Amino acid sequence: MNETILRKYAELVVKTGINLQDKQTLVISSPLECAPFARLLSETAFKAGARDVVINWLDDLSSKIRFLHAPDEVFDEFPEWRRDFYLSYLREGAAFVSISASDPELLKEVNPDRIVRAQKTSNIALTEYREKIMSHQNSWCVISVPTKPWAAKVFPAVSEDEAVDRLWDAIVKAVRADAANPVDAWNRHKTQLRERRDFLNASQFKLLHYKSANGTDLTVELPAGHIWMGGSKNNGKGVEFIANIPTEEVFTLPKKTGVNGTVFSSKPLAYNGNLIADFSLTFKDGKVVSFTAKQGKDILEKLLATDEGAAYLGEVALVPYDSPISNAKILFYNTLFDENASCHFAFGKAYPTCIQDGAKLSPEELASRGVNDSLVHVDFMVGTADLEITGIAADGRQVPVFKNGNFA
């Protein structure tokens, strides 16, 4: 990828993504393979006034070796120093960037029980970190950079090098880093998302009814005082940031016990090194009561059984079928991109900021207002070209929100 575009991308992440403040510390979680871009981010951050930049190196292949060969009990342990690492930077007000670039099928030979157990252990140990991040106390941003195994999965018909080039092209377009001035392009994009969000907030629908020819027929109740978010958010200090680059969604939370009917997936879900594909979920009073999956049924089953809240929804997100990422017609096998090409839901924890005063409420108060809690938060895609979503207001009035996959 051309050096000028890479620099623009790095600036976009530092300035628009986390909106780094003077003398702020930046923590970057990066796969080893993405080291050149992590270093470029680090240099860009120092030039923008960072106090320090700390890189948390990750290695997919070492994790795989550990998953295959370590004794069972290590998956129930989380080292204290690692928890302290996240918490100490969180408490000093650092910003967090993570580079999501895993091989989507990295762990397919691993016993799914180990994967879900390890995920649960880490989520329990990092509860305080997850809560602060999900209520947007600190700025954070998830981005992607190609790696060979990931690119090969997305573009299987070409050589690895060619696949990496193509994935770079697709990412650069999706994140608007190829614009003359990406920061300006994002300002325009943020305005468009704000308009959608404002319309939905003013509407305060009581129910959304989803219907599609693939069999989807689902009603989702939205709790009183729900807030649609999208584009930028403000952190605990009032500093604007963008948590995902790219982002095309506007989202809120469902009432935990208000989801009924069946929904079919429209894209495979890459979850912790495994693919879950062609699946459907049937809900009764919010809970998944039955499900099917042509691929990855065992991992889906374990995911839903993580804890009580994992079998309920925590996010409702609207993305037009006709959006830049979707129009690229590339299946990324990476949720950061696939969720931004499709209407989606998430299993598990809801963002507390999606309900009035949510960031100030205790876990019990949130629960009493219908906000789901869980150790997991996993997005899955349901948008199709023919998806219809009807908004039903408290007085019964029906308003088309989506027609033929796009905002009506």
Minimum CB–partner distance for residue 244 and Zn ion (Å): 8
Give whichever of 12 and 336 is closer to Zn ion, judged by the CB atom.
336
Residue 213: exposure state from Cβ atoms within 10 A (0-12, 13-18, ≥19): exposed
- Residue pair 299/224 in contact (Cβ under 8 Å)? The answer is no
Minimum CB–partner distance for residue 335 and Zn ion (Å): 8
Least Cα distance to 232 among 140, 355, 346 occurs for 140
Give whichever of 110 and 346 is closer to Zn ion, judged by the CB atom.
346
Minimum CB–partner distance for residue 37 and Zn ion (Å): 24
Residue with tokens 């009506």: 408
Minimum CB–partner distance for residue 22 and Zn ion (Å): 31
Give whichever of 118 and 336 is closer to Zn ion, judged by the CB atom.
336
Residues that bind Zn ion (CB under 5 A): 249, 315, 317, 339, 346, 379
Give whichever of 164 and 401 is closer to Zn ion, judged by the CB atom.
401
- Residue pair 373/346 in contact (Cβ under 8 Å)? The answer is no
Q: How far apart are CA 3 and CA 205, in angstroms?
A: 47
Give whichever of 164 and 263 is closer to Zn ion, judged by the CB atom.
263
- Residue pair 136/353 in contact (Cβ under 8 Å)? The answer is yes
- Residue pair 166/158 in contact (Cβ under 8 Å)? The answer is yes
Contacts of 268 (CB under 8 A, 6+ apart): 275, 276, 277, 278, 295, 331, 333
Give whichever of 37 and 228 is closer to Zn ion, judged by the CB atom.
228
Minimum CB–partner distance for residue 8 and Zn ion (Å): 25
- Residue pair 316/207 in contact (Cβ under 8 Å)? The answer is no
Minimum CB–partner distance for residue 372 and Zn ion (Å): 12
